[in-house]
Structure 1
Amino acid sequence: MNTPELIVMLTYNDSTVENAAQIFEECKNSKAKFWGFKEKPLPLAEMKELYAKMKSLGKTTFLEVVAYTEEEGLAGAKTALDCGCDILMGTIFSDKINQFCQENNLKYMPFVGQITGRPSVLEGSLEDMVAEAKEYLAKGVYGFDLLGYRYTGDAVALNKGFVEQVGAPVCLAGSIDSYQRLDEVKDANPWTFTIGSAFFDNQFDGSFAEQIDKVCDYIQQSS
């Protein structure tokens, strides 16, 4: 059994916070190994500097691109490459983005399902999302960015069914904001999951670093 890894997202309502670098500095010695943020609104120079700092401390880095056109997705992939990021999450899958990632050794985890808005809303059926995922896996993607708790249907059933049936790295991204949802994450057993806004809203009670460690410890405990 994999133990799901927390990706700390320095984001609020699907946008990177302006003081992301300061928060990372305060939390760099926390138990989280995986860190990321969104493609906007930080200037590229600040993004590069922050990712370089994360990498220098041995963190695995993620850029999540909330974009629904190929042009925006490709721009996000180029940003991830410019920043020396390990993994590109998000974007609506396109062959062009996939090819760019493969040519540049960038791991690609696109969205699945029908996604609209920012913060995002996910629609579609489990069967369609699994079929979509298998098609993309055949084209060489690394894994998937599943917006499970943004789903208009049964999120718990979607998360568990998708992870079980896809057999590739899955990140459950968005709106994980309670211990009940952490229990559901453990049960679904994805590769990773993200928390951003919930830490800023103090949903896990403590300083930012204390909340990170609480979530890491809780996930490590046996279900």
Structure 2
Amino acid sequence: MPFDFIFMLTRNDRTVTDAALHLETALAAGVTHIGVKDTGLPEADLAALIRVIRQAGATAYLEVVSPGLEAEVKSARAALRVGVDVLLGGTHAAQVAALLRGHGLRYYPFAGRVSGHPSVLHGPAEHIRHSARTLCAVEGVDGIDLLAYRNDGDAAALMRSVCESVNKPVIMAGSIDRPDRIAAARAAGAAGFTIGTAALDGAFPAPGRDLPTQLAAIQAAARGA
């Protein structure tokens, strides 16, 4: 199974205003999975970023962090208009899956009860596992977006138990800022992981704080190097 590093052009659950500059750096570094959030930039700017990502042959993601059904449906419609490949996040899976049906866009909603901005995952592991299994039974749900390190439980155990409980890919998102957390996600059976803030802030353990060095260190950790 592939284990994809998804670089998010985001900080604290918002797409950054200088995302185009960071996108150029990421593509030059060979990053092939790149995403944005549904907050922080106007739709026209998101569309321009997605167009560059796809023209480069990379996979484009949009993660929904806006709360509420109305905002989530609005973001899903925007995802269709701007042409992303994968829609991550959100909590209203039945309504959004119905909206996306037939458009060929992959959909990975959040498992469990999620609130706040930046998003936080609430509840015990058994409730989150049940949520993940329920979501995977919804027509049009292709996988799960799991905020394992935004939960106050044992993140490694949660990742492992959710991956073992479902038969669809699980992407780990939120607060993955160290090689050991990447290794734990890989060991759990995750299909991929997202990093945004840690890379943009130069906080990932690496020889330097500049973005090219940060991305190289994350890519190495993703390979298990």
The TM-score with structure 2 as length reference comes to 0.93
Q: For residues 169-180 of structure 1, what are the structure 2 equivalents within 5 Å? A: 169-180=169-180
Q: Distance in 1 between matches of 2:176 and 2:135?
A: 26
- Name the % identity: 35
CA deviation string 1:41-77 (max 9, x = no partner): 2111111111000000001010001033111111110
Q: CA deviation at 1:179?
A: 1.7
* Paired residue total: 221
Instruction: Give the corresponding residue for 1:74.
Output: 73
**Paired residues of 2:87 and 2:108 also in contact (CA < 8 A):** yes
- Opposite residue 208 of structure 1, the aligned amino acid is L
SS of aligned partner of 1:75: helix
**Paired residues of 2:36 and 2:46 also in contact (CA < 8 A):** no
Further displaced range: 154-163 or 200-209 = 200-209
Q: CA deviation at 1:164?
A: 1.6
**Paired residues of 2:136 and 2:144 also in contact (CA < 8 A):** no
Q: Distance in 1 between matches of 2:111 and 2:37?
A: 18
CA deviation string 1:155-183 (max 9, x = no partner): 11111111121121111001011122122
Instruction: Give the corresponding residue for 1:216.
Output: 219
Instruction: Give the corresponding residue for 2:197.
Output: 197
Q: Note the aligned Cα RMSD (angstroms).
A: 1.4
Q: CA deviation at 1:3?
A: 4.1
Deviation above 4 Å: which 4+ runs of structure 1? none
Distance of aligned partners of 1:43 and 1:67 in 2 relative to their CA distance in 1, 3 Å threshold: closer
The TM-score with structure 1 as length reference comes to 0.94
Q: Distance in 2 between matches of 1:114 and 1:138?
A: 17
Structure 1 unmatched runs, 5+: none
Q: Distance in 2 between matches of 1:3 and 1:202?
A: 26
Q: CA deviation at 1:125?
A: 2.4
